[in-house]
């Protein structure tokens, strides 16, 4: 049994706070089309590609595995080309979010607000870009979204992608709390591995792209955060076996 009282909640973003992956997939395809690339990621392929954490890493993996003959655009180096594709993709995603294509998953905002009002520290630990985070949470929470979160770690501050625990270790350091005093929220197998490697009890809310993942070791696996309150989290954390 754990003895540390619950003091902080740490949230992943894509797939966890919001069902963003369909919009991300459309944005990738739009970027490919803008550059005249004959690439198209359908839902089945994108589900496989999500095993690779990080958008740039996903592009590089696909390029190496499926189109090793494709040359960088206009004489640019490979890394520069991938960065350019990802830049166009990010712009397309941000436009879609601004147009209302993405909303927070059921129960997510209510839990964030309840935890904040009860004095729990809140943090974000994600491998997505800061632009993507801001686009989503500015629309879902408001222009002052950042004031809810004591710590925000993302792809710009934690370059080692999940399942590496870097983003969670840095988040715990920023919070100044031990893992035993926190709960993580994830949607994927890689996310769960990263959180558990940092010693965090983890609640998983799978989505259509991650439902087939292995969630062994999760504290709870739930369809969403709808109906989940701080009292539930405290009880589940208190009953969790020692990490």
For 3-52, how does the pLDDT look when each residue is reduced to its tens digit (9 = 90+)?
689 999 999 999 999 999 999 999 999 999 999 999 999 999 999 999 99
Eight-state DSSP code of residue 176: T
pLDDT tens digits, one per residue of 202-217: 999 999 999 999 999 9
The single residue listed with the structure tokens 């005093």 is: 181
The answer to whether the beta carbons of residues 58 and 41 sit under 8 Å apart is: no
Question: Which tokens belong to 197?
Answer: 């490697």
Lowest mean pLDDT among 24-28, 72-76, 112-116, 159-163: 72-76
Of 14, 19, 154, 187, which one is the catalytic site residue?
Answer: 14
Active site residue 14: yes
H helical segments located in the chain:
21-34, 43-49, 55-66, 78-98, 108-117, 130-140, 166-175, 189-197, 230-239
Of 12, 19, 154, 201, which one is the catalytic site residue?
Answer: 12
The answer to whether the beta carbons of residues 228 and 112 sit under 8 Å apart is: no
The answer to whether the beta carbons of residues 56 and 83 sit under 8 Å apart is: yes
Enter the pTM of the model: 0.90
Contacts of 90 (CB under 8 A, 6+ apart): 27, 55, 129, 131, 132
The pLDDT-based confidence of 1 (bands split at 50, 70, 90) is very low
The pLDDT-based confidence of 77 (bands split at 50, 70, 90) is confident
Active site residue 12: yes
Mean pLDDT of the chain: 94
pLDDT at 3: 65
152 or 98, which is more confident: 152
Is the dihedral angle over the CA atoms 178, 227, 106, 203 positive or is it negative?
A: positive
Angle at 15 between CA 117 and CA 218, to 5 degrees: 75
Question: Which tokens belong to 32?
Answer: 């490919």
């Amino acid at each position: 049994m754990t003895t540390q009282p619950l003091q902080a909640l740490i949230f992943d973003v894509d797939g966890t706070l919001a069902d963003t992956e369909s919009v991300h997939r459309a944005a990738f395809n739009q970027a490919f089309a803008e550059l005249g690339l004959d690439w198209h990621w359908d839902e089945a392929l994108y589900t496989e590609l999500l095993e690779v954490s990080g958008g740039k890493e996903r592009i590089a993996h696909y390029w190496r595995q499926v189109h090793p003959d494709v040359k960088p655009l206009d004489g640019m180096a490979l890394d520069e080309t991938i960065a350019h594709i990802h830049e166009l993709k990010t712009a397309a995603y941000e436009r879609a979010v601004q147009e209302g294509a993405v909303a927070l998953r059921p129960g997510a905002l209510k839990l964030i607000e309840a935890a904040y009002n009860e004095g729990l520290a809140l943090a974000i630990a994600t491998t997505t870009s800061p632009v993507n985070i801001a686009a989503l949470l500015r629309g879902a929470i408001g222009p002052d979204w950042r004031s809810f979160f004591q710590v925000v770690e993302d792809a710009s501050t934690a370059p080692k992608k999940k399942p590496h625990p870097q983003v969670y270790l840095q988040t715990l350091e920023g919070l100044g709390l031990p893992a035993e005093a926190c709960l993580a929220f994830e949607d994927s197998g890689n996310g769960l591995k990263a959180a558990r490697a940092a010693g965090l009890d983890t609640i998983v809310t799978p989505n259509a792209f991650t439902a087939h993942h292995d969630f062994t070791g999760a504290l709870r696996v739930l369809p969403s955060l709808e109906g989940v309150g701080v009292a539930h989290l405290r009880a589940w954390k208190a009953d969790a076996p020692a990490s």
